[in-house]
Structure 1
Amino acid sequence: MEKSFLPQGVHMLHHYNNNHCVQESCKKRKLDNGIDMESQSSEDFGKAGMGRTFLPIRADAGVFQTDEWKTSGTAMFHPVLQDQYINLKKLDKISAGQGSFFTADESGNYSRNLTGNVLHLWRYDKQEKKLYISQSFLFTNFQVFLDIQSFLKSV
C-alpha cells in the first residue's frame, strides 16, 4: 500500500503523467478537529490553525516552478528565487509525480533537463467546468520534497 503524504481523509487517485504514476487528492474542506474552514470567521479560523493553510516553498538551488504546465511534458521550469507561501484554501487538488523536466536559468533561457519530483497545484475553472494545473514545483533535492510531503501530512 502506498503511503499518502496528504492530510488524513483526503482521497487518492492515480494516473500517469510524463510516463510516471501521479498521486492526486481532492481538497480537504475541514480541519482534522472537524472545524469547517468555509464557515469560520477569520478570528475563529486563526484559532483553528491559520498558519497551517499556507504551504511554504523555500527558494533553493534545487527548487523550480512553472505556471504553464503542458500535458506533453514540455513545460519550462524556472528557478524559485524568493520564498513563497501557497494558500492551500485556494487549491482544489494537489498531485505529485516524478520524471525528467526542462529547466531554465534566471533569464528564462533553457538550461538543462533535470530529474526530480514535481508537485502540481490544481484549481477549478468555473467557466470551463474542469480542473487545471495552476502552478507546478519541481524539486531536484529529494529531502526538500520529503519536507513538503511531511508538511502536507500535518495539515
Structure 2
Amino acid sequence: MRMRATLAALALGAGLANVPAPALAQSAAFLPAEPQDFQCFTLMQQRRTQVANAPSLTAEQRVEILNNLTIISAFYAGRLSHYSSAEAGSQFRAAATLIGNSNRQQLDAFANTCANFYLSVMELLGNTSIQATNPQQRAPQTGAPQQGQR
C-alpha cells in the first residue's frame, strides 16, 4: 500500500498522472477530458496509415515503424478506454480537426512529444519494476571507496 502511494505521488509530481484513475473518475461521477491523449492516438493512427502506404521504405523499415506505432497507439488507446462514448466522439472529432489543420513540422514535433511521453512512462514503470524485484545486494557507495572495496 505504501509503495502504491509513493508511486502515485511520484507520477503526480512528474506530471504523468494529471487525470484521475478511471475508477476514481467514475465514482466521482465525472470523466476528465485529456485532449492530448486523443490527439496522440489520432496522430499515431494517421502515421500508421502513411507508413503502410510509403513506397520509399524497405519491408524491414516498414515493419519496425509499424510495430512501434502500434505499440504507442495501444498505449494511448488504453488511456482513452475510460471515456464515455459521447465524450470520446467529440474528443476524436476535435483531435482529427486539429491534426488535419497542422503542418508537417507541427505534426512531427507533436509525434515526438507523444512518443517521448510514452517512453517516459515506460521508463518509470521499468525502473519501478527493477527496483521492486531486485533489492540492492549491498549498501550503495556514498563516499570514497575503502581499501578492498574497489
Q: TM tier, shorter chain?
A: under 0.3
TM-score by length of 1: 0.25
- Pick the structure with greater CA Rg: 2
TM-score by length of 2: 0.25
Higher helix share: 2
Higher strand share: 1
